[in-house]
Amino acid sequence: MLDGWLDQGVKTSDVAVIEPSGDIGRAGVAVAKDIDGLPAGFTPDVVVLAVKPQMMDGALPPYARFKDALFLSIAAGKTLAYFEKTLGDVAIVRAMPNTPAAVRRGMTVVVPNAKASAAQRQAAEALLTSVGDVAWVEDEGLMDAVTAVSGSGPAYVFLLAEVMTQAGVAAGLPEDLAARLARATVSGSGELLNRSAESAAQLRQNVTSPNGTTFAALQVLMAEDAMAPLMTKAVAAATLRSRELAS
């Protein structure tokens, strides 16, 4: 995400990163091992909380000093109320991005608290759109399902490529060729879906000839106990875990 912000014109001199290891591999950006190591007089307009939820209790309290900043959290499961309890009456935007942000193709869903001004919301959107698409919701209760669908979703897609490779090998293909076919097919199909105005269902139908090879495969994948109910069950499990992380 930092690479995306800098590539979009944010000055390195306007950024400071707290990283306990002391290294982020990006020249020109001030890096401190803790908040007390920030440059003298550094007063942030936006504090991005890129901390694993299990570590947030220990990491968050020192930042309560930045009362005028917008706090932008990308920690799964941590609610607006959680941050307000520790930080007080400050502006907060809770965000759930996903890993394709690394290639500027991320999907981020965000929800603000009542304190976040229009200008602060615009600042959050500017930061997040530099690495992909952004959708705003007003109902924070949707964020657990968002986490399950798009936050965790890239892993589901990678698993698809993984099992397609395994299936290709089982069908007699050399492993390197099976992996190449699966990778290109998954990534290419994703780009087709991205560029097309047609729905995923319509694109699926477009490639499915009656009684053809794709039809035969889909009879297995679309069976009553196959992909659709498994995905529903998986998303439900991830949604539940997101709610547990909030407690």
Residue range 84-121, pLDDT digits in tens = 999 999 999 999 999 998 889 999 999 999 999 999 99
Residue range 188-222, pLDDT digits in tens = 999 999 999 999 999 999 999 999 999 999 999 99
Q: What is the CATH number of the domain that holds 239?
A: 1.10.3730.10
Task: Tell me, yes or no, whether 124 and 23 share the same domain.
Answer: yes
Task: Tell me, yes or no, whether 112 and 161 share the same domain.
Answer: no
Across the range 35-49, mean pLDDT stands at 89
Domain edge (last residue) among 86, 105, 140: 140
End-to-end Cα distance, the chain: 27
- pTM, rounded to two decimals: 0.86
Q: What is the CATH number of the domain that holds 17?
A: 3.40.50.720
Residue range 134-157, pLDDT digits in tens = 999 999 999 999 999 999 999 999
Range of the domain at 170: 153-246
Residue range 10-40, pLDDT digits in tens = 888 888 899 887 777 777 788 888 898 888 8
